[in-house]
Structure 1
Amino acid sequence: MPEQGRFTGRAAIVTGAARGIGAATAARLAAEGAQVLLADQAPEVMAQAEALGGVGLRIDLAARGAGEVVVDTALDAFGRLDILVNNAGIGGSKPLLESDDDLIDRFIDTNLKAVLRLTRAAIPHLARPGGRIVSVSSTFGIAGYPGTTAYAVAKAGIAQMTRQLAGELAPEGILVNAVAPGVIETAMTKGHLGNDYYRRAVLEPTPLRRAGTPEEVAAVIAFLASADAAYVAGQVIAVDGGWLAARHPPREAG
């Protein structure tokens, strides 16, 4: 259960907050007392923010200048910034030979460059000490998986950004970490989870034999954003049911 008041008096930005991991994270932080700005391109973000008593912002995070708009909106609303959760991203990658320039640009622009720009805009305003940056990478950014090249490269960039910034910002009291989700039940994975081959190839080899939930990822993000993680920096924590650690043979079909 959430610890009431763990984030009381703190202000957070959560991107990709209209649904899935972002929505669950915003709800978790708000439940523990944080003031939360929910940023997303999807219109549902406004209702999500209203339900949580937060501030909603519809914005294309991949656009130039979007990072500054997000940060300025949070500062105008809350007067401070303590936590940045970089969650927004897209899926649906293809093998590299099937990836045209537009697809590659779309993944790099949304899943990597937008995160770099928003983080750059946020750093000068994060609390010192006590600031937190938590980004969402992926197990596919750590271990190779065929057919996901542009997506995987962008998510690997998030993991390396985390390590790089941890070294730069920890001396100032800002801790930078990331999570690497495995298969999580979201709108992005719904089609895959209904595919028998995908379930046998990816889901069943997971030691826990199931997909995770957005709330399970949000719980780890909340830990990394809290004072409980005061001696954790530069880590990319897999929330994957054990997929990276050990893989079970898939069950026989039929």
Structure 2
Amino acid sequence: MTMEPSTLNGRTAIVTGAGQGIGLAIAEALLAAGAHVVAVDREPDGITALATLSGVTAVQGDVTDAGLPEQLDAALAAEGRQPDILINNAGVARGAHALETSDADFTRYFDINVLGLFRLSRWAVGRMMRNGGGAIVNTASIFGQIGAQSSCGYSASKAAVIGLTRQMANDFGPNGIRVNAVAPGLIETPLTAERIRTEAWRRHQMIDGAPLRRVGTPEDVARAVRFLASDEASFITGQILAVDGGWAMGRYPREEAIHA
């Protein structure tokens, strides 16, 4: 038996939050693998640039908008396409501890990180069921598994993403739909670069405290997402793949490398 690398030729992949950072890297990785990418973002700048590339359809939309599924239906119908892959990447981060988190703050995290993801997943599985299957990959967070200081709404919402990933994998596996998630650790993006540069405690905890001793890149996450979306992961569902340089697993790293 030969094992050829999977491609995504002929498949249609929807990526939310595709305008910058991790979402942009995911969109580019899926495009390079042969997928037609429907790039979704509420800000027009990033997806406008993506739309100049062959094989990209840009949709300006917000995951908190209950009308987004209808927008996607219209965009897909205009090109005679159906969703084969959904990447639920859009989200909001940072936050505060519980005493500094209002009801409105907490609700905002769940509206964006959970309800928006659920709404698009529900829409996608309905179409994937009719098409014989598909793949959904959610962007969770390592903080949804272990908690993080001063991150009440964020950590709770990402824990909910992990729970929903496993639950939907269980329900829709018999329909040939795989549902997995990536759980990034500290990833350097336009939104995190300044904090990484200025917050020494963050570098000490999450870079010096990780076995691989480096910050992650959007491409690190994109490669993991591409794998989970492809046929190379055809027997994998309901899993949460940590992309964190071993940080959550390590927590007690060696002071220096082992010498031969």
TM-score (norm 2): 0.90
User: In 2 relative to 1, CA 138–78 (structure 1 residues): closer, same or farther, beyond 3 Å?
Assistant: farther
Q: In 2, Cα distance between the equivalents of 1:84 and 1:110?
A: 16
- Tell me whether 1:211 sits opposite 2:189 in the alignment: no
Write the deviation string for residues 174-228 of structure 1: whole angstroms up to 9, x where unpaired. 1110000000111221222011121112222011111111111111111111111
Which amino acid in the other structure matches residue 43 of structure 2? A
- Tell me whether 1:156 sits opposite 2:162 in the alignment: no
Measured after TM superposition, the shift of residue 32 of structure 1 is 1.1
Q: Report if aligned partners of 2:211, 2:254 keep a CA contact under 8 Å in 1.
A: no
Q: Percent identity?
A: 40
Measured after TM superposition, the shift of residue 46 of structure 1 is 1.6
Write the deviation string for residues 111-132 of structure 1: whole angstroms up to 9, x where unpaired. 1110001111111112643400
2:33 is matched with 32
2:116 is matched with 114
Q: Report if aligned partners of 1:4, 1:33 keep a CA contact under 8 Å in 2.
A: no
1:135 is matched with 138
Q: In 2, Cα distance between the equivalents of 1:214 and 1:21?
A: 5
- Tell me whether 1:9 sits opposite 2:23 in the alignment: no
Q: Report if aligned partners of 1:206, 1:246 keep a CA contact under 8 Å in 2.
A: yes
Q: Report if aligned partners of 1:12, 1:34 keep a CA contact under 8 Å in 2.
A: yes
Measured after TM superposition, the shift of residue 88 of structure 1 is 0.3
Measured after TM superposition, the shift of residue 5 of structure 1 is 7.4
Q: Report if aligned partners of 1:13, 1:84 keep a CA contact under 8 Å in 2.
A: yes
Aligned length: 249
2:23 is matched with 22
1:180 is matched with 183
Runs (4 or more) in structure 1 with deviation over 6 Å come to none
Unpaired runs of 5+ residues, structure 1, are: none
Unpaired runs of 5+ residues, structure 2, are: 256-260
Q: Report the secondary structure of 2:206's partner residue.
A: helix
Q: Report if aligned partners of 2:35, 2:55 keep a CA contact under 8 Å in 1.
A: no
RMSD over aligned Cα atoms: 1.9
Q: Report if aligned partners of 2:133, 2:175 keep a CA contact under 8 Å in 1.
A: no
Q: Quick one: which of 111, 122, 125 aligns to 1:123?
A: 125
TM-score (norm 1): 0.92
